[in-house]
Structure 1
Amino acid sequence: MTLRSKFIVTAAVLYLTMGVLAWQLLAYNQVLFVAAEVLIVISLVLTVQLYTSFVRPLNLIAAGVESIRDRDFSIKFMETGQKEVDQLISVYNQMIDELRQQRVTQTEKHFLLERLIEASPSGIILLDTYDRVAGLNPAAAQLLQTSGKDVVGKPLGELPGHWGNSLEKLPKDEQRVIRPNGIQTYRCRKIRFLDRGYHRYFILVEELTQELLEKERNAYEKLIRMMSHEINNSIGAVNSILHSFSYFSPQLDADTKLDFDEALQVCITRNQNLAGFMANFANVVRIPVPVKQPVNLHELLHSIHRLMGPSFEQKQVAWQWELDQEAPQVAVDVQQMEQVLINVIKNALEATDTGGWVKVKTSASPPTLLIQDNGQAITPKVQEKLFSPFFSTKANGQGIGLTMVREILLQHGFRFSLQTKEDGFTTFAIELAEA
């Protein structure tokens, strides 16, 4: 029973009792009966007024509680002229003003934070208390190459591609740099925050590819230009001196002359080889801006096949085709793209044993080129360094081939990767641009 109901029941019982007693006075003294009735009426009026004053604050409290429960902070009450009630109303109105202001401020901050997260170029993956994906922004969805609905609720280890393994091992409150395919570089941080009293984490993924590539390029360009300048100057002077020595050859006897000529030729040849060695490095930093033109990708691949076919036959490695029915028209610099294909297919051939195969696959929509082989797999340790400047796993390799491939494809604006898939096949993938 509510307090209001108790008050009404008590008043009703009291006035009923007073009415019965007053009725008893009617038989003894009519004047006293009238006086009692007047007093009862007066007290009833006072009781109603007291009830109204008593119930009004309760009504205000009930209405205030209801508006707060409904999160409606726009309702305020007018003063009634009663001191006690007005004090209650003043406190309530002040509280409502503060709640409304706090909600407006919180909503604005939340909206701003959402907009910042949505517009952030860095990938943000929000985790729940069990380290499952609770949400991600568009940049993270693009990195994962999936939609948010496909990964929400999944553990980190079940994220697509290399991300599952990399992010699952990420230490809390620490950062780590990962290079999943040897070219893209990401800095990942797992950061803790407090949400409604519970500790949760989010993962921030920042791409450092362009920044690091630019720094690498500037560093090795400066070094190569300096080395090329110094070595070429020295070689030119030394070769000039060696050629001058050759004029003394006729003055020597026959036995000495033969050894003298051979020694001079060895020195001159070695200098020429050294000059060629430096020229190969210099060519990497002299790659011109690509002049793109529409090219039939299949025709370009067939021309490379005619060029490299004898090498495949000599090593007894099969060249396999899996071409799209529709030949993709792509925008490339033909000479530079030929250089890329020759280097990539040559590497695939060298990695494949006799009896193996190299498969060339194309897709028209979107234009994509895959060069697969069943040769030696790429280890995770090598994977991270594949496209590092002048890195090579060959005994006498200079690491120029893949460095040049990297620079040409980056100047074209193509996405590319080189890795050994779960099926054991090594794949060089290039996402081309449609002409």
Structure 2
Amino acid sequence: MRSNPIRFRTYRLQLVLRLLLLSASLYGLAWVGFNPDYRSTFLGLFIFILLQIGLLVHFHERTNRLFLRFLNAIKYDDFTEQFHISGEGNTMRELSLRLNEVMKKFREVRAEKEAHLQYFEVIVQHIGIGIITFKPDGSILLLNNAARKLLQVGQLRQVQELETVSPQLALGLQQLGNDDKVLVPVRQGAEQANLSVHVIELSLLGERVRMASLQNIQSELEEKEMEAWHNLIKVLTHEIMNSVTPIASLSASAYEEVSSFTDTDAEEVTLLREELEDIGQCLQTISRRSDGLIYFVNDFRNLTTLSVPKLSRFNVTELLQEIKMLLRGQLAARQISLQLEVPKEALLLSADRAMVEQVLINLVKNATEAVQEQPDGKVTVRAYLDERSRISIEIQDNGHGMTPEAMAKIFIPFFTTKKSGSGIGLSLSRQIMRLHKGAISVQSELGKGTTFILRF
């Protein structure tokens, strides 16, 4: 800040001297009066007095200008401003010192807030739950990395742009009320996902802001679904076995008794031989069907009796080649070609080889049944590393494909699209993949075939 070239030790001394000089000038002006002989002197003193008054006002307003600079610095967030006053006495020096301390404190507080903001931004960007904050008009304020990954999108400006990903999601984000939740299905490439969406409303500087959390709970839903099916199957198999086993035993015993009667010529046998033979055949049929039902129930028990995988490291390419060799006769008999597309480098997978082989054989057999009516039936098996460096295996056929309704139910136990099938093969395959912390998904379109994808 500029100061008078003639600097005095104190602000008060400068003020007193200025007032004394002004008083003397006024006294001289009054003494000269309007004497024509001293007109030039009178004019000079008058101008000098006006100049002194202006300098006195300027001198007195320096403190105001100092505070004005301070307030403007705060207003425009310019905390680099420094106040240097010298030669104005202890009071002004103390004032400038305190103002500089306040500016330093502002700089420290702003630096601390920026550090905290950066810290929380890093946390928000690295948490596993997707976060979207947006205004009521749909303008997106924040879209963290987890949300981009879940939705497979880049930078977005409006919530409405999510309609290309899921119209249900875009509509739900705008219509959900405070603390509302909804389950939204979305498609992530070849995989189906279910997102749990939770919306809350916040007030940010007096403006209403909505925050939505997105979490993929597909694995949890599948786990709960399989747990429910396991419990149901346990109850059903237990009740069926308790009911069917005695029937099978009694029908077998009754058949033996009837057979012994038909072999004798005793006159006390009152029923005709033909009727006894019919009853025997009925009992034999009941016994045979009961045994078939017991076998059927035991087959379903496989869904609930899977053991823990025995992990070993093996080459996926070698396993696929062995499966092709194993099914070569069946494929040749049906005139179906099986092609392997594998990379040159070895794909080493750590898993239960027997379980993975069971899944692959089941999927390849399903594919061959899907193309057996095609004149040029073809099944293609691919092994590769996906974008996340996960070992993936695709089983693709050129059959008739499936409807969206069938795809949604294909992994449910007892559901099958085949004329003859138990409906447990794909359910068993999904259970095996879950035991390996992997996933199985399906892509299909009517008239274009079906592709099952295993990701480990």
TM over 0.5: yes
Letter in 2 for 1:250: S
The 5 A counterparts of 1:2-401 are: 28=37, 48-72=55-79, 110-111=117-118, 113-126=120-133, 135-144=142-151, 151-153=154-156, 163=165, 167-168=169-170, 170=172, 172-174=174-176, 175-178=182-185, 180=187, 184-189=193-198, 203-245=212-254, 246-252=256-262, 254-352=273-371, 353-355=373-375, 356-363=377-384, 366-395=390-419, 397-401=421-425
Structure 2 distance, partners of 1:200, 1:153, is 17
SS of match in other structure, 2:396: strand
Q: Displacement of 1:170 after TM fit?
A: 4.3
Uncovered stretches (5+) of structure 2, i.e. residues with no partner? 1-24, 177-181, 263-271
> 1:354, 1:261 → 2: CA distance?
45
Q: 1:33 to 1:74 in 2, by over 3 A?
A: closer
Q: How big is the shift at 1:255?
A: 2.3
- CA distance in 1 between counterparts of 2:423 and 2:170 reads 33
- The change in CA–CA distance for 1:259 and 1:138 in structure 2 (over 3 A counts) is same
Shift of 1:334: 1.8
1:185 is paired with a residue whose SS is: strand
Which structure's relative contact order is higher, taking Cα pairs within 8 Å and 6+ residues apart?
Answer: 1
Query: Contact between 2:400 and 2:447, CA under 8 Å: does it hold in 1?
Result: no
- TM-score, L = length of structure 2: 0.71
- Answer whether contact 2:79 2:104 (CA < 8 A) is retained: no
When residues 179 and 259 of structure 1 are mapped into structure 2, their CA distance, relative to the original with a 3 A threshold, is: farther
> How far apart, in 1, do the equivalents of 2:250 and 2:36 lie?
155
What does the per-residue CA deviation read over 1:243-275, in whole Å, with 9 as the maximum and x for residues that have no partner? 221134211364234323321221111111111
- With normalisation by structure 1, the TM-score equals 0.74
Q: Is the 8 A contact 1:25 1:33 kept in 2?
A: no
Which shifted more, 167-176 or 291-300?
167-176
Question: How far off is 1:176 after superposition?
Answer: 3.3
3-state SS of paired residue (1:363): strand
CA deviations over 1:330-379 (Å, ceiling 9, x no partner): 12212211211122222222333412321111125653211112223333
Partner Cα separation in structure 1 for residue 63 and residue 116 of structure 2: 38
* 1:4 alignment counterpart: none
Q: For residue 190 of structure 1, report the CA deviation from its aligned partner.
A: 6.2
- Superposed CA deviations along residues 132-163 of structure 1, whole A, max 9, x for unmatched, are 766532322433457xxxx1147778779x83
Residues 221-264 of structure 1: CA distance to partner in whole angstroms, max 9, x if unpaired?
A: 22222222222222222222222211342113642343233212
CA distance in 2, matches of 1:68, 1:113: 26
Query: What CA distance in whole angstroms lies between the structure 1 residues aligned with 2:284 and 2:345?
Result: 56
Q: What CA distance in whole angstroms lies between the structure 2 residues aligned with 1:33 and 1:154?
A: 76
Give structure 1 stretches of 5+ with no counterpart.
1-15
- The 8 Å contact of residues 73 and 99 in structure 1, kept in 2 or not, is answered as no
Deviation at 1:427, TM superposition (A): 2.0
The alpha-carbon distance between structure 1 residues 125 and 235, as it changes in their structure 2 partners (threshold 3 A), is same
Confirm or deny: 8 A CA contact 2:252 2:284 kept in the other structure: no
Secondary structure of the residue aligned to 1:28 is helix
Instruction: Let me know the Cα RMSD of the aligned residues.
Output: 4.7
After superposition, the Cα gap between the structure-2 partners of 1:317 and 1:163, relative to the gap in structure 1 and judged at 3 Å, is: farther
CA contact (8 A) 1:374 1:424 kept: yes
The answer as to whether partners of 1:187 and 1:208 remain within 8 angstroms in 2 is: yes
| Deviation (angstroms), 1:311 | 3.6
